[in-house]
Structure 1
Amino acid sequence: MNLKITSHHVEITPAMRSHLEDKLARVLSHFDQVQTVSAILAINNEKEKELRNHAEITIHLKGKDIFAEAHHADMYHAMDLVVDKLDRQIIKHKEKVQNHHHQTIKNT
Structure 2
Amino acid sequence: MDYNVRGENIEVTPAIREYVEKKIGKLERYFANTPDATVQVNLRVDKEAAKVEVTIPMKNLVLRAEEEHPDMYAAIDLINDKLERQIRKHKTKINRKLRGSNTPPELFAAAAAETAEPEIEEEESDLEVVRNKRFDLKPMDSEEAILQMNLLGHNFFVYTNAETNSTNVVYRRKDGRYGLIEPN
TM-score normalised over the length of structure 1? 0.81
Runs of 4+ aligned structure 1 residues displaced above 4 Å come to none
User: How many residues align structurally?
Assistant: 100
Structure 2 counterparts to residues 46-85 of structure 1, below 5 A: 49=48, 52-85=49-82
Structure 2 counterparts to residues 6-85 of structure 1, below 5 A: 6-31=6-31, 32=33, 34=35, 35-45=37-47, 49=48, 52-85=49-82
Which of 76, 95, 100 is the aligned partner of 1:98? 95
Task: Give deviations 1:52-104, integer Å, cap 9, x for gaps.
Answer: 20001011122221110101111111111111101111111222233333343
Stretches of structure 2 that go unaligned for 5 or more consecutive residues are 102-184
Counterpart CA distance in 1 for 2:28 and 2:84 is 8
The answer to which structure has the higher helix fraction is 1
Per chain length, whose mean CA-contact separation is higher, i.e. which structure has more relative contact order (CA < 8 Å, sep 6+)?
1
Q: What is the RMSD computed on CA atoms of the aligned residues? A: 1.9
Q: What secondary structure is seen at the aligned counterpart in 2 of 1:98?
A: helix
Query: Does the 8 A contact of 1:7 with 1:42 survive in 2?
Result: yes
Alignment correspondent of 2:5: 5
Task: Give deviations 1:14-63, integer Å, cap 9, x for gaps.
Answer: 11111111111211211246322111000124xxx2xx200010111222
Rg larger in 1 or in 2? 2
Counterpart CA distance in 2 for 1:54 and 1:12 is 13
Change (3 A) 1:3 1:82: same
Change (3 A) 1:89 1:11: same
